């Protein structure tokens, strides 16, 4: 039993160590953790529900149908801007004797939105409930006020009666939530309040008129809304090999053979971070060694070939990225005093993958001979 507990504890310790990853039997250190990154995007929404125009009679008698459609742009995980049209029907009432009259309106709105889920809990691309707050302004246009005109003509004086149409500015405030159904489709619930001119319902009350809406519908998001940034790994520096003991053999006198002519050769692999052609600080020593070798062997030239990993990006982009990586190394060698005519630049994009892991394929291979 003790032995089993020791084995289990050892396995947990290994599983809880986040700074190492094993790939192809090689232990790599994590230099940059993987993460999901927000992408700005367009969206649209459509809603239908009920409106309540504040009045002096029973709540249920003042409910009427409402709808809205809008389009917007999410600039950051927190802030967005949307514009749209809402409206349908509103109601007014004369209290004694009770007479209810209906009229229609359309309201153009511009709202600023704040994502409450990302504000309080941090950005999460696949969050199910996504509450938001919004505030904005609108321009309200009322029409079809014939029923109010009939009430007025019957002897019940409506001091702010408008017979044709009426325009007024509205202030808006509301809260809603988008419930995730898929990456691009969300079920939407929203309530909002609109404050309007006292003349909106044709009655003089000495205070602003209010209308409230409870709506349900769908939000559709377009394009990519997030992207995954893979973790970046690098290989630890291997421990130096122990010195090899050399045993002295008795000298054998022999006719010296002519020494073969062996041309000097050197290879350096300069690795890059994902989606980058900038030479990292940890790779500059390789440039120094390569430049020193070329200065020491004036008869040698160097070929620099750039690559990109196939699992990131697309073929056209990766071809351009591999070219930039090769040119970046070539420029670094020129800055070290190596003549341009001794440097050959080549690039393969992701058509060739020289290594087994995608992290190593973000590389410029330099062969001097």
Task: Answer yes or no: are the C-beta atoms of 172 and 192 closer than 8 Å.
Answer: yes
* Alpha-helical runs (H) found in the chain: 2-15, 116-121, 146-153, 284-296, 315-335
Beta-bridged to residue 33, according to DSSP, are none
Rounded Cα gap, residues 206 and 219, in angstroms: 39
The predicted pLDDT at position 19 comes to: 47
338 backbone dihedrals φ, ψ, rounded to 5°: -85, 130
The predicted pLDDT at position 315 comes to: 92
The predicted pLDDT at position 252 comes to: 66
Does the pTM surpass 0.75? The reply is: no
Rounded Cα gap, residues 82 and 11, in angstroms: 52
Distances (CA, A) of 107 to 87, 146, 275: 6, 19, 46
Q: Spell out the SS3 assignment of 270-329.
A: EECCCCCCCCCHHHHHHHHHHHHHHHHCCCCCEEEEECCCCCCCCHHHHHHHHHHHHHHH
| Ranges of CATH 2.40.160.20 domains, the chain | 37-226
The predicted pLDDT at position 242 comes to: 75
CA-based nearest residue to 67, from 257, 255, 240, 218? 218
246 backbone dihedrals φ, ψ, rounded to 5°: -105, 125
**Structural fold of domain 37-226:** Porin (2.40.160)
In the chain (369 residues long), the average pLDDT of successive 10-residue segments reads 55 48 52 82 97 88 95 96 96 87 96 97 94 98 93 89 93 97 97 95 90 97 91 69 71 66 82 92 91 91 93 91 93 93 94 91 88
Distances (CA, A) of 120 to 33, 52, 112, 116, 123: 23, 31, 18, 6, 9
CA-based nearest residue to 227, from 277, 274, 185? 274
Rounded Cα gap, residues 80 and 72, in angstroms: 7
CA 316 to chain centre: 22
Rounded Cα gap, residues 209 and 54, in angstroms: 7
Class of domain 261-368: alpha beta
Rounded Cα gap, residues 221 and 45, in angstroms: 9
| Ranges of CATH 3.30.1330.60 domains, the chain | 261-368
Strand order across the beta sheet in which 232-234 lies: 20-23, 26-32, 232-234
| Other beta carbons less than 10 A from residue 7's beta carbon | 10
The predicted pLDDT at position 345 comes to: 94
Ramachandran assignment for 286, one of left (phi > 0), alpha (psi -120 to 50 degrees), beta (any other): alpha
For residue 71 the two structure tokens come to: 């389009």
| Other beta carbons less than 10 A from residue 161's beta carbon | 17
Q: Which residue's structure tokens are 């003042």?
A: 62
137 backbone dihedrals φ, ψ, rounded to 5°: -130, 160
pLDDT one-digit tens code per residue, 115-149: 999 999 999 999 999 999 999 999 999 999 999 99
């Amino acid at each position: 039993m003790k032995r089993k507990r020791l084995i289990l504890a050892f396995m947990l310790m290994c599983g809880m160590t986040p700074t190492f990853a094993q790939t192809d039997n090689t232990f790599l250190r994590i230099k940059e953790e993987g993460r999901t990154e927000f992408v700005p995007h367009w969206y649209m929404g459509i809603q239908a529900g009920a409106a309540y125009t504040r009045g002096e009679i029973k709540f249920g008698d003042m409910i009427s149908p409402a709808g809205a459609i809008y389009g917007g742009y999410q600039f950051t995980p927190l802030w967005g801007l949307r514009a749209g049209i809402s409206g349908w029907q509103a109601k007014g009432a004369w209290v004694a004797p009770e007479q209810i009259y209906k009229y229609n309106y359309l309201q153009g709105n511009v709202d600023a939105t704040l994502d409450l889920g990302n504000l309080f809990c941090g950005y999460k691309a696949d969050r199910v409930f996504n509450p938001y707050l919004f505030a904005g302004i609108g321009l309200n246009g009322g029409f079809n006020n014939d029923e109010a005109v009939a009430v007025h003509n019957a002897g019940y004086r409506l001091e702010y009666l408008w017979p044709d149409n009426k325009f007024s500015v509205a202030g808006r405030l509301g809260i809603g939530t988008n419930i995730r159904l898929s990456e691009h489709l969300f079920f939407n619930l929203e309530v909002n309040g609109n404050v309007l001119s006292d003349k909106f319902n044709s009655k003089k009350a000495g205070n602003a008129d209010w209308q409230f809406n409870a709506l349900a519908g769908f939000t559709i998001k377009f394009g990519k809304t997030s992207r995954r940034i893979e973790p970046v790994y690098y290989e630890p520096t291997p421990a130096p090999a122990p010195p090899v003991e050399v045993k002295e053999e008795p000298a054998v006198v022999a006719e010296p053979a002519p020494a073969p002519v062996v041309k000097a050769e050197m290879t350096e692999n300069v690795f890059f971070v994902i989606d980058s052609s900038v030479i990292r600080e940890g790779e500059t020593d390789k440039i120094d060694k390569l430049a020193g070798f070329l200065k020491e062997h004036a008869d040698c030239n160097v070929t620099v070939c750039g690559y990109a990993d196939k699992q990131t990006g697309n073929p056209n982009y990766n071809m351009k990225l591999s070219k930039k990586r090769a040119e970046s190394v070539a420029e670094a060698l020129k800055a070290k005093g190596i003549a341009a005519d001794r440097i050959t630049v080549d690039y393969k994009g992701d058509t060739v993958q020289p290594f087994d892991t995608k992290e190593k394929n973000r590389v410029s291979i330099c062969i001097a001979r």
